[in-house]
Structure formats: C-alpha cells, structure tokens
C-alpha cells in the first residue's frame, strides 16, 4: 500500500497537464432510456473496459466526480451518468428507486453497445451500482462500492435522525447550486429533492444472501469519518466473496473531492490511483 501511495504521489506534478487534457475531451449527450431523457458524459480513450460513474443522491455528476474524473480518464474510457430527475436527466411519473435506476444504467450501456463495464458508485450511486451488479451481473466486471451501506444499521444513527427532520430548506446549498448550474429550474430541483428524500426514508435492506451470492469482484471504499459505519464496511468484506476494503482519511466523499466538502488538493488523484490499481489488478 505504501509503495502504491508513493507511486501515485510521484505522478502529481507530471499528471496535472494530462488530467486537464482528459477533462477537455469530455463529451455530453442524451439517450432515451425507459421513459427518461438520460444525460451522460464520456471521457478518455476509446479502449478497454469502460468505467461507469454513478453520482450521489441530490447530486450531479459534476458535484460528485468533477474533481476525480480527469485522473480516472487518463487511460480508460469513463461514462458518467445522471440518474432520474437529477441534473440534466428528465423525470418520469414514478418514484426514484435504486432498482429502477440500476435498470436505467443497464439499458444505457446496452444502447451504447457496452457489453461489460466496471461500475463506480458513490453514496446513493453505490446503492445503484450494487443493484446493477445484482440485477445485471453479466454487465459488470468489477464494482467500486463507495461510501454506502446495504442495511440501515450500516449507517451512522445520525443519518436516520437527520432524514426524519429533513426538508428542502435543510438541503446543502452547495448541492442546490450544483443542480441549478446545469438545470436552472427551481421546480425540478424541488422534485429531485423530494423524491430523493422519499427514497431514503423508505430505504430497504439488501438481504445478506444476495450479497453472499455475488461473484463480481468488489472494492469497498469509505472515509474514516463517513456516513457508513466502519464496522459495516468490514462486515461487507465477509459477506461479498473476495471483497476488498480501503479506508481513507476524510468525510463523505472528501477523499475524491466531492464538491460540498473541504478540498484536499491531492486526494482525488490518490484515490483514483487506488481505484485504478483495483480495476487493473488480476
């Protein structure tokens, strides 16, 4: 691990221009997916197994992954997706659910002629990524399950206390600003917030038996001051066959530069290097 961190850090200066170049190559587009006009962006070279990025709840792909995409896209194709009602993706007359969003991702990959991908989900996006692996296992080569949990006991108790009293006024201003920057419609922002809140208030545990049956190589990734309880992250390594665990310093997404948290200049590149090592490993 020490050699890996030193190696990634040694690239910090040289890779700055490469990261900027990768970001400049991003391309946004829309696809008709299960009644949605789904927005996605692609980065990096057209070779190898693509990496799909699934953002957190209440977020956009920019606010979750904007600072880490340039490093992830240096040597691989990256497909960053916005889910139902989030950012530039339209809504439909149905609640937001992890399972339906997972089906949307699988449909998008099919439309893009991607037979198999690596999937990196953060927070609610990790819950979606897990459902992609469970519902469409043939479409997922490797899974990065970042800062999420598979049962209510896996989260810090404060999360559920906060959700019980949450309303639109308590939504972080940074997330509101990020949404309105790409979709300047306050009514749609409110719909997205309300649907996300409803989804989390009705969070359903994933049965342990389903996790034990998984055959997708999985990396569990959390911060040491995350919403996910460290004990739960360790438990997942025993439930999911062969799963690995990395605990990094920081809060919920701080290790990869999530836009609403304090920024640490080298954290996104260090995290990207560790994720790449997992994706490229045997």
C-alpha span between 70 and 172 (Å, rounded): 25
For 235-261, write each residue's pLDDT tens digit.
999 999 999 999 999 999 999 999 988
- Could you tell me the CATH number of the domain that includes residue 233? 3.40.50.1820
Q: State what percent of residues in the chain have pLDDT above 90.
A: 88
33-55 pLDDT per residue, tens: 999 999 999 999 998 999 999 99
Give percent of the chain with pLDDT exceeding 70: 91
pLDDT at 16 over 70: no
pLDDT for the residue numbered 22: 39
Query: Which stretches within the chain are classed as H helix?
Result: 2-10, 15-24, 61-65, 69-72, 98-111, 124-135, 157-164, 173-182, 186-201, 208-212, 230-239, 267-280
Above 70 in pLDDT, residue 9?
no
Contact between 146 and 222 (Cβ < 8 Å):
yes
How confident is the model at residue 25, as a pLDDT? 59
What is the average pLDDT value for the chain, to the nearest integer?
92
Q: What is the pLDDT of residues 85-106, one digit of tens each?
A: 999 999 999 999 999 999 999 9
pLDDT at 3 over 60: no
pLDDT of 8 > 90? The answer is no
Residue-level pLDDT at 282: 82
The whole-model pTM stands at 0.91
Query: Long-range contacts of range 13-20, CB-CB < 8 Å, 24 or more positions apart?
Result: 15/71, 15/74, 15/269, 18/70, 18/74, 19/70, 19/71, 19/74, 19/269, 20/70
Number of domains in the chain: 1
**Residue of 151, 282, 172 lying closest to 228 (CA atoms):** 151
CB 257 within 8 A of CB 231: no
Whole-number pLDDT of residue 263? 87
Separation between Cα atoms, residue 106 and residue 51, nearest integer Å: 13
165 lies in which domain range?
2-280
Average pLDDT over residues 272-279: 98
């Amino acid at each position: 691990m020490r050699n890996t961190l030193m190696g990634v850090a040694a690239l910090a200066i040289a890779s700055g221009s490469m990261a900027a170049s990768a970001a400049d190559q991003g391309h946004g587009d829309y696809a008709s997916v299960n009644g949605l006009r789904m927005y996605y962006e692609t980065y990096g070279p057209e070779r190898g197994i693509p990496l799909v990025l699934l953002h957190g709840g209440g977020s956009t792909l920019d606010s979750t992954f904007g600072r880490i995409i340039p490093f992830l896209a240096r040597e691989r194709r990256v497909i960053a997706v916005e889910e139902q009602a989030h950012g530039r993706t339209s809504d439909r007359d149905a609640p937001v659910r992890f399972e339906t969003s997972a089906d949307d991702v699988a449909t998008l990959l099919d439309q893009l002629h991607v037979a198999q991908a690596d999937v990196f989900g953060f927070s609610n996006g990790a819950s979606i990524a897990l459902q992609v692996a469970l519902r469409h296992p043939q479409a997922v080569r490797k899974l990065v399950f970042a800062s999420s949990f598979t049962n209510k006991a896996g989260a810090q108790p404060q999360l559920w206390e906060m959700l019980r009293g949450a309303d639109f006024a308590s939504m972080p201003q940074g997330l509101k600003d990020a949404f309105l920057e790409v979709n300047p419609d306050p009514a749609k922002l409110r719909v997205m917030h309300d649907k996300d809140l409803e989804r989390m208030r009705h969070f359903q545990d994933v049965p342990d038996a389903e996790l034990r049956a998984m055959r997708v190589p999985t990396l569990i990734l959390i911060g040491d001051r995350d919403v996910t309880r460290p004990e739960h992250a360790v438990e997942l390594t025993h439930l999911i066959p062969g799963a690995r665990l990395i605990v990094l310093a920081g809060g919920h997404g701080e290790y990869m530069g999530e836009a609403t948290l304090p920024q640490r200049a080298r954290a996104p590149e260090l995290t990207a290097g560790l994720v790449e090592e997992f994706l490229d490993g045997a």
